Structure 1
């Protein structure tokens, strides 16, 4: 998932990292066949069932990867954030997941065939992708645990702690606060709750003085207390 700390993709330690890339690495990846693309908010980039075998590196914006169910419901499996690698799963019939831009989204994109050829030229790039896939599995495991075993309040707290940890790694957090474009419907679809239940959980987190989520902005009020309450161990978001 997030790969910005890998030595192949690490920028100068004394300056901010943009999507995990320094200029030389960006040029290399583009030379290996990855091309820049921009998608408007709410664009379906890969639809479940489509035979579009591509991979993406997120440079800016928010996206989500979801499994769509009959009747219009969906389960959000993960969010695609700055510095993430998105590799939708495929079988013989097409994509198993839908990849959607939640905000305006800038990515580098290549076919998996192009990536395979690129990896032959650049083993470190192949290593980065493997690490990203391992980390993606760890994130999905935590989301499954959220839905299956954590309380509604616990899973809500855990998700916000995961988001701030991931965003912190790419310089998108300021004084324990970050911009968050997720709606209560998005949160409901990742947490396995109803939007009304999500609203109650957000109110309870605010009343307990753990965090505040207003107008697309999350502010951690008592991050240490929230970590203790949620039993959050953030090693799984580290590379």
Structure 2
């Protein structure tokens, strides 16, 4: 059900009334399962629906100077293409990283829901603002940090965002990213990413086996990453 993680995501950063939660529970949707590297939408598409990530990861990406550049990852509860309500032509691809499941909600239904509720209108507007804050942090990460804190910062962000929707258990979570994905997100070569991850392992900061990533010394790891979660605007209280 698409509303579960979406409500958890919205509650992690602000209030959502019970009436608005009911509206999200009752929205119409279709479900689509994506294979690894399968596209949800492509550059130039004119989507008629908004996407909700139900499970797995999506990447926002496009080819720049013959190199694939990932500019964001979207996790369970995220709505990566909310701007398509007002910007009709996609200027980037949304691609599945590993297998994923998405829900599609027609633009007309989203607009009707927002017209009925200023609370949801504000919640979705807040989501677009937070996505903008995340994008600015990615620019800073790429432009100012060395490889080790750059990669560590990406991992810290993913862990924190997964915590918002209850998908981290004892600092361990499912992470389908390959070293190529990390390289494309961090502007590094695959060789450099491999060396960086090995260094993080050598320091005893992470254990990354297959699709499971565990943060072994969370506080020290965040210090290495120069990570401050303030830009994610999470609330310091538990949610449903």
Q: Place the TM-score, normalised by the shorter chain, in its bin.
A: 0.7 to 0.9
Residue number among 73, 81, 85 corresponding to 2:75 in the alignment = 81
Residue number among 16, 32, 39 corresponding to 1:8 in the alignment = 16
Instruction: Using structure 2 for the length normalisation, give the TM-score.
Output: 0.84
CA distance 1:124–1:107, change in 2 (3 Å): farther
Query: Structure 2 matches for 1:150-189, cutoff 5 A?
Result: 150-189=145-184
- What is the deviation of 1:131? 1.0
**Aligned residue in 2 for 1:62:** 57
8 Å contact kept, 1:177–1:220: yes
Q: Return 145-154 or 224-233, whichever deviates more.
A: 224-233
In structure 2, distance between residues paired with 1:3 and 1:110: 17
* Two-structure CA RMSD over aligned residues (Å): 2.4
8 Å contact kept, 1:68–1:98: no
In structure 2, distance between residues paired with 1:107 and 1:61: 9
Please state if 1:230 is matched with 2:225.
yes
What SS does the aligned partner of 2:27 have? Answer: helix
**Aligned residue in 1 for 2:25:** 27
8 Å contact kept, 1:57–1:83: yes
- What is the deviation of 1:8? 2.1
CA distance 1:203–1:190, change in 2 (3 Å): same
- What residue ranges of structure 2 are gaps of 5+ in the alignment? 1-5, 235-240
**Aligned residue in 1 for 2:238:** none
In structure 2, distance between residues paired with 1:109 and 1:4: 21
- What is the deviation of 1:29? 2.6
In structure 2, distance between residues paired with 1:106 and 1:9: 27
Q: Return 105-114 or 203-212, whichever deviates more.
A: 105-114
Aligned residues: 224
CA distance 1:120–1:26, change in 2 (3 Å): closer
CA distance 1:191–1:88, change in 2 (3 Å): farther
- What is the deviation of 1:238? 2.8
In structure 2, distance between residues paired with 1:203 and 1:150: 18
